[in-house]
Structure formats: structure tokens, C-alpha cells
Structure 1
């Protein structure tokens, strides 16, 4: 089945890097890639009532710049000799990156969003960078896969999946983790930070359910004690040189706040390791 993948871009080196990563990851899969640039104008703010309309000078100038940059980007893609099973579509829209992404996810029934964790200046507070965490937190209808700057694609040695064993796992929520594990042949390392002496009966049931969801994949269970979630995950990833993280972003529970902007700055691994944010579809 053909996949639909959304690639937000601000035409930066980091956004280009995320695009190339996506192309390599899905090189053997049939994919429609949607390249999206959300542009603004220097004279108007999107939260202002004075938003330019099509036909107005500022709008047309900004759209022309965006479309011109997209044409150049498509030529760069052609130079890569991309797989024949990849097709690229483009869209320029006056909007914030977050709202533009959310709208296109709905309009095109996007399967997954793949974007850079950083924008044009390598600063988490600028353009795509400032929106990367918003993408993970607020694009709720499909997974969001964030690619750090300067990461070249290689099949990950393993995918770390932190869990409290309290999430109500669903196969459809874990489909993209399963898919990436299959196409990269990467084992999944299920990490639990133990807060009590032992798992409760409910946690044991959820662990068994997770085993059902991962049936047919290579996976192992790992437990750390006497550590905070953030520090425990950081230690585990760094000590093993793990090359990918996936988690279920269940709002207001467990990892709901781990990938907030302050935490991104504190956790060194997040700038070095691709992160796949899955979503509890009941939220």
C-alpha cells in the first residue's frame, strides 16, 4: 500500500537532511512525499487581523519566493536519482508551520510527518526548530518522526521504546514502529523505569498486551531502578549508543511532558537521536 509522508521544510540544510533521511528510510517502499512550506510575510503577522489575501502585493511576493525555493528543491531532489517508487508533491501556504502541517495531514490523509528537529539556524527557537516539539505534541492524527541535524541515514542498531506499562496499547498506534523495525531490521528495546518494588497486576497485563503487539519482531525487555524517567532514558540510550527512540505521546501521562521545549534543551540525546512520536488515538 502506498504511503503518504509529509515533509515540512524551511529550505534549510537541516530540513534537507530530514528529507534525505526519509527518502533513504523508505527507499524500498512506494511513497508519495508531500513537501510543505509554510510562508509568512515581513509586513503581516498571522495572529493579526490584517492578513494579506491572494492577489495582494505582500502575499504574492512571499508566495513567489516560496514557490521559487520549492522549484530549486525539486531540482536538488532530481539530482539525487531518487527511487522510481517515490513521487513528490509540493505546497506553499500562508500559515504557521504547525497549522499548515495539521491541515495537510487532514486534507491528504497523511500517514507520517518527518521533519528536522532544528531549522535554518540550528536553534530550537527558530522556524522549524521552534515548531518541532509542537509537531510532536499537537499533530495528533499521525506519527511524527523528528530527525536531528547532521544525522545521515543508516539502519538503526536498535529502537528504544520507553514505557510505564500503563498505556492502553493498540496495534494501530504501534504500526509505524512495527514498520520501521521491519524495514530496518532493528530490534526494539523496551525500557521500563521501575518506580515500585514490582509490576502491578495491571502493568503485567499491559506488558503481555505489548508482547502481542510486537509479535513477529525482535524485542527485549529492560528495567532501570532508582532513576527519573528523563535521566534513566538518557543513561540507557547513551550507554548503549542506541540510534533511535520511539514513544507513545499520551497526553498528561508519563511522557506527556518529557519532550517539552525545556526538556529538549536538557536532554543531549534528543539532538543526536531520531525520535518517533506515536499517539494514543483515544486522546
Structure 2
């Protein structure tokens, strides 16, 4: 049984990500873990008169969290009845990333699926700050991020971006290969060509990657390096029919380059399609 973790803040975007997850794994037996964390700063405020008042506030927020999770599960069962799907709810007075790490380890989570825009309505240039923190803290679990307003479609075409500068192991690529096998997806290996030729190490990694994906329909696309990497990639994604983008989250890798790029360069790179981030 597949174990999926769904962080939620009860926003429309969180519900959209939940709907995507339910559709993506419609044919698979799954346990979905819905988690909501709450850390009301006022509980620790110097303006709080007594710890009793603080405790009452925390109890109130906890009840709101628990009721919200119960409502989400009820909504799921009403709109997406599926005997193969089970649900667990977790309400926690803690930081989101800490709680996620704990659940991933204790429950052996296979995949985290998260929206990219929270209840605050703040749509950051790259993706929501919570989403970035989840990705950076999820060192042993892949994360699938779903853009706001993106409606589910079968991932028939999956792009995998790489510079071939690092070796790949079956462990790292397994979640991507399993997804492609499940939907008979084609994989487009996307390489932004910064030099005329790959060096020998890059060629070796390219060949290993092509061999690994040989049982799957896969092609290699070399993208000309004419602007910032985010522009090159975004323009290609808009011109192609790719349904999902995948990349490995290496320290100091391409994903972190996107996050660090100046706003004027990365403003165009909204993740308009789901992004699968594979841990190193």
C-alpha cells in the first residue's frame, strides 16, 4: 500500500493538491496522511496575561485544526469515494517541516504531495515558502508540488531536467520510473546545453540514464542556453506538451539556482505544471 502525506492549511490550493493526489492514485491502494500544523504566535506573546488564557487559545486552535481535518476527510469521501483509499489525520502544535520529517520517518511515507500557495494568498515568485521548506527538509522522501489552479491530467509526458554532472542511482530515480511505469508515460530528458559538447563524465552519466530509462519511452532534448536557465526551461515547457517536470534536489543544484535567481530572472518561472522533486 502506497503511503502519501498531504500537508493542508485548508486553503483552496491545498484542496486542489489533494484532488490531484486522489486522481493520480485512483487505481492504487493508498493510505493518505492529512497533516495540519498550527503555531499561534500569540500563545507566546508577552501580552498574554496568563498561561490559562494561552492554554485556552491553544485548545481553540487545536479544535479548529481537528475539525478542519475531519471536514476535509468528509469532503473527500463524498466527492471521491474509493474503497482502496484510507485516511489518517494528524493535527499538531509544531512547525510544519518538523512534523513532516517525523511522519515521513515513523510512517515510512512514499511521497509528499503539496500545493504551492497557502491560505495567506501570497503567491511567491518561485513557489510558496512553505513548499520550499518542505522540499529542503525532505531528504529521504520525494515531494510532488501542485500549482494553484492546476487541474489533474494524466502525466503522459514527464520532463526530467539534468546537467549530467552527477551520477544517478536507481534509488534516486526509482520514484520517477515507478510513476512512468504506472501511467506508461514518456520521459523527456531535458539538458540545457551550456557548452558545445559534454565532457566524458557527463557522457557517461547520460548513457547510464538512457540505459536506465530504456524500458520506458524516453528521448533526449538538448535545450540551447540563450537566457537564464529558468527562462530556457520555462519556454520549453510552454511550447511542449509536458504534464509534469521532475528534477533531483542536489545541494547547490539546479533547484537551488532557481530559488536564488534574482526576481527579474525567475519571475517567469512559476511552476505551472506539477514538479516532482527527488531527494539526493
- Normalised by the length of structure 1, the TM-score is 0.88
Q: Tell me the distance in 2 between the aligned counterparts of 1:25 and 1:163.
A: 25
Per the alignment, residue 257 of structure 1 pairs with 257
Q: Tell me the distance in 2 between the aligned counterparts of 1:133 and 1:261.
A: 14
Using a 3 Å threshold, how does the CA distance of structure 1 residues 93 and 27 change in structure 2: closer, same or farther? same
Using a 3 Å threshold, how does the CA distance of structure 1 residues 64 and 270 change in structure 2: closer, same or farther? same
Q: Tell me the distance in 2 between the aligned counterparts of 1:186 and 1:220.
A: 12
The structural deviation recorded for 1:267 is 4.7
Task: Compute the RMSD of aligned alpha carbons.
Answer: 2.4
The answer to whether the 8 A contact 1:237-1:269 is kept is: no
Per the alignment, residue 71 of structure 2 pairs with 72
| 3-state secondary structure, aligned to 1:178 | helix
| 3-state secondary structure, aligned to 1:222 | strand
Q: Tell me the distance in 2 between the aligned counterparts of 1:256 and 1:144.
A: 15
Of 111-120 and 153-162, more deviation after overlay is shown by: 153-162
| 3-state secondary structure, aligned to 1:63 | helix
Per the alignment, residue 175 of structure 2 pairs with 176
Per the alignment, residue 234 of structure 2 pairs with 234
Using a 3 Å threshold, how does the CA distance of structure 1 residues 45 and 186 change in structure 2: closer, same or farther? farther
The answer to whether the 8 A contact 1:33-1:88 is kept is: yes
Structure 1 gap ranges (5+): 47-51
Using a 3 Å threshold, how does the CA distance of structure 1 residues 223 and 137 change in structure 2: closer, same or farther? same
The answer to whether the 8 A contact 1:191-1:224 is kept is: yes
Of 86-95 and 262-271, more deviation after overlay is shown by: 262-271
The answer to whether the 8 A contact 2:160-2:190 is kept is: yes
Using a 3 Å threshold, how does the CA distance of structure 1 residues 215 and 44 change in structure 2: closer, same or farther? farther
Q: Tell me the distance in 2 between the aligned counterparts of 1:255 and 1:129.
A: 14
Q: Tell me the distance in 1 between the aligned counterparts of 2:251 and 2:25.
A: 29
Q: Tell me the distance in 1 between the aligned counterparts of 2:103 and 2:265.
A: 29
Deviation per CA, 1:166-207, whole angstroms, max 9, x where unpaired? 121011111111122122222111111112221111111101
The structural deviation recorded for 1:219 is 0.7
Q: Tell me the distance in 2 between the aligned counterparts of 1:59 and 1:134.
A: 24
Aligned length: 271
| 3-state secondary structure, aligned to 1:182 | helix
Per the alignment, residue 57 of structure 1 pairs with 56
- Normalised by the length of structure 2, the TM-score is 0.89
Q: Tell me the distance in 2 between the aligned counterparts of 1:196 and 1:268.
A: 24
Q: Tell me the distance in 1 between the aligned counterparts of 2:121 and 2:198.
A: 41
Using a 3 Å threshold, how does the CA distance of structure 1 residues 106 and 74 change in structure 2: closer, same or farther? same
Deviation per CA, 1:109-155, whole angstroms, max 9, x where unpaired? 11110000111243136xx9320111122211100100011111111
Instruction: Write the mapping of 1:56-205 to structure 2, written as runs, cut at 5 A.
Output: 56-124=55-123, 129-205=128-204
Structure 2 gap ranges (5+): 46-50
Using a 3 Å threshold, how does the CA distance of structure 1 residues 130 and 77 change in structure 2: closer, same or farther? same
Q: Tell me the distance in 2 between the aligned counterparts of 1:98 and 1:206.
A: 33
